[in-house]
Structure 1
């Protein structure tokens, strides 16, 4: 038998009654960020995946250049309710594990 190791942000004794409300807020933020990215001319034709956890926007995928990467992060930051943005977008020319 093992004991799970809690993450720093986990509070095992917290009241979970607001979980559905938090989930709705994350879904709302995710939809707004995705909408803004699909409308803006710099990001609309890029391969960007948007996810949100606890009001933190996570941008993943591939973009064509650094300006587009920066624009995507700025558009995400402009959405009301966003606490932080984690920009993990890669450039289309980058290779993983290449030495």
Structure 2
């Protein structure tokens, strides 16, 4: 008899299996590579972390365009389910007066 529910897979629920070579590690490498190749984001201090296929970008950049491009590049990687773009723009604020 065929069960109406798919077979339970604990890794599908819990995330990547422990050890090297998991999906998060692969996605982190792909996002990092895309950031290193794009002219807007290369040489920028942006760190990439991935947990449960969610990309977390962090760092400080000089322009909002760089921040926006980093997020778009991360979203374009197949397998990414969400992007948390915590990259900050180093704004030079003027003093009032």
Q: Which moved more, 1:39-48 or 1:86-95?
A: 86-95
Going from structure 1 to structure 2, the CA distance change for 1:24 and 1:91 (only over 3 Å counts) comes to same
Match of 2:17 among 20, 27, 35: 20
For structure 1, which runs of at least 5 residues remain unmatched after alignment? 1-13
Match of 1:83 among 81, 84, 94: 81
Q: What corresponds to 1:39 in structure 2? A: 37
For structure 2, which runs of at least 5 residues remain unmatched after alignment? 1-8
Q: Which secondary structure state, in structure 1, belongs to the residue aligned with residue 58 of structure 2?
A: strand
Going from structure 1 to structure 2, the CA distance change for 1:94 and 1:55 (only over 3 Å counts) comes to farther
Per-residue CA distance 1:51-84 (angstroms, 9 max, x = gap): 0000000000111110110000000000000000
**TM-score, with length taken from structure 1:** 0.73
In the alignment of these two chains, the number of paired residues is 81
Q: Which has the larger radius of gyration?
A: 2
